[in-house]
Amino acid sequence: MTTSNTSEKQSIDKITAQIKAGSIKRIVVIAGAGISTSGGYPDFRTPNTGIYAKISKMKLLPYPEAIFSVNYFKHTPEPFFAFLRGVMQLNFRPTVTHAFIALLQRMGVLEMVFTQNIDGLERAAGIPDDQVMAVHGQFGSQRCMLCKTAWSTERFESVVKSGQVPRCDNADCNGLIKPDTVMFGEPLPPKFDKSTDILKVADLVIVIGTSLKVHPVAGLPSLAAPGVPRVLINRDAAGDLGTRPDDVLLLNDCDDTVRTLADLLGWRKELEDIWKEVGPQPGDKNPVLEDAIDKEIEKFLNEQTEERQLVYQGHKTFLEKHLQDKMLRVPSDADVQVNTEDRKV
């Protein structure tokens, strides 16, 4: 475990001792894509391997984040579905870090995990739904954007895998079928607002595997009461973690770090037992999502005719103009998934 200095090592020893002694018992975890990368699911922003690096090959997109933006999806859904076809090719299993969060829950010290992830691996690790606030929704259900008719996952996957864009077949509808995940520009689940008060009563906040670049989650760590320790487990520094005297930065691979924490807590065997139960199983295919996404993006690009590229160029120009206009009147509404980097577009 890499800590910035000796005092951080002392802080983490103190925090784990307090958990063992029962004086820390309301832990809130704020998680992001980094907790799933060792399971083969790339994050957004890691250079070269992150999803944005992959989709920046889609030169037709006005900017990589457009693929997850609802306004872009409404008129140009093909790139999103090409990406999704890659995602659908494999079954992912929880990582050691998911097992660690599940361990906190089983030990009775987890209050809530706020996850930005849409992969559903917290549930797969056995954390009960009422202790998971899936801020950006999760894959596993989908419906028509217009008439809201739900589609079964089986039907949805079969249409997407066949290369079609799934559309509603109710009379006169023809709406796009979209997973119930929150795209940029869409409102967050209604229960998000109510759930954030939990941060104020937490006695420990652990932020894992997130760059804290997407709002409103980026603002959650600052809701912790003064004096409450905030621990960042991530490869890189993130958000305002490190600005308070009680912050502890553990800048390393999250699976390694949680194993060390489990050692300090005396819970290593329990962690490995959960991991054995929920992690990769004998006979699993190797998770190679990165290859799958690359392949699907390549295929998508090869299918673009000159005529279609002209249409996309039209979309690009339209969007750039639209965004320019929009930037002149950016709303202050925080209840929308906003990528801080969008503001630079």
Distances in Å between the Cα of 301 and the Cα atoms of 41, 83, 157, 308, 317 are: 22, 12, 21, 11, 19
Distance separating alpha carbons of residues 309 and 95, to the nearest angstrom:
40
**Stretch of 3-11, 44-52, 190-198, 270-278 contacting ligand CNA, by CB under 6 A:** 44-52
- At residue 194's C-alpha, the angle toward residues 189 and 199, to 5°, is 110
Distances in Å between the Cα of 183 and the Cα atoms of 41, 114, 123 are: 18, 17, 21
Check binding of 101 to ligand CNA (CB under 6 A).
no
Check binding of 38 to ligand CNA (CB under 6 A).
yes
Distance of closest approach, residue 212 Cβ to ligand CNA, in angstroms: 6
Which of 236, 274, 211, 259 is closest to 16 using CA atoms? 259
The nearer residue to ligand CNA, 51 or 66, going by C-beta atoms, is 51
The nearer residue to ligand CNA, 24 or 55, going by C-beta atoms, is 55
Judged by CB under 6 A, the residue of 117, 156, 232, 296 near ligand CNA is 117
For ligand CNA, what does the binding mask look like between residues 300 and 319, x meaning CB under 6 A? --------------------
Distance separating alpha carbons of residues 55 and 43, to the nearest angstrom:
12
Given 75, 98, 136, 215, the catalytic residue: 136
The footprint of ligand CNA on this chain (CB under 6 A) covers a number of residues equal to: 29
Judged by CB under 6 A, the residue of 3, 40, 45, 300 near ligand CNA is 45
The nearer residue to ligand CNA, 103 or 168, going by C-beta atoms, is 103
Check binding of 16 to ligand CNA (CB under 6 A).
no
Distances in Å between the Cα of 65 and the Cα atoms of 56, 76, 112, 183, 291 are: 9, 13, 28, 10, 20
Distance separating alpha carbons of residues 65 and 55, to the nearest angstrom:
9
For residues 119-158, which are near ligand CNA according to CB under 6 A? 119, 136
Distance separating alpha carbons of residues 343 and 335, to the nearest angstrom:
16
| Count of alpha carbons within 13 angstroms of residue 69, beta-carbon side | 16
Q: Is 136 a catalytic residue?
A: yes
For residues 218-257, which are near ligand CNA according to CB under 6 A? 234-236, 238, 253-254
Check binding of 43 to ligand CNA (CB under 6 A).
yes
Within 10 angstroms of residue 198's Cβ, the number of other Cβ atoms is 16
For residues 250-289, which are near ligand CNA according to CB under 6 A? 253-254
Residues that bind ligand CNA (CB under 6 A): 32-34, 36-38, 41, 43-46, 50-51, 116-119, 136, 209-211, 213-214, 234-236, 238, 253-254
| Catalytic residue numbers, as ranges | 136
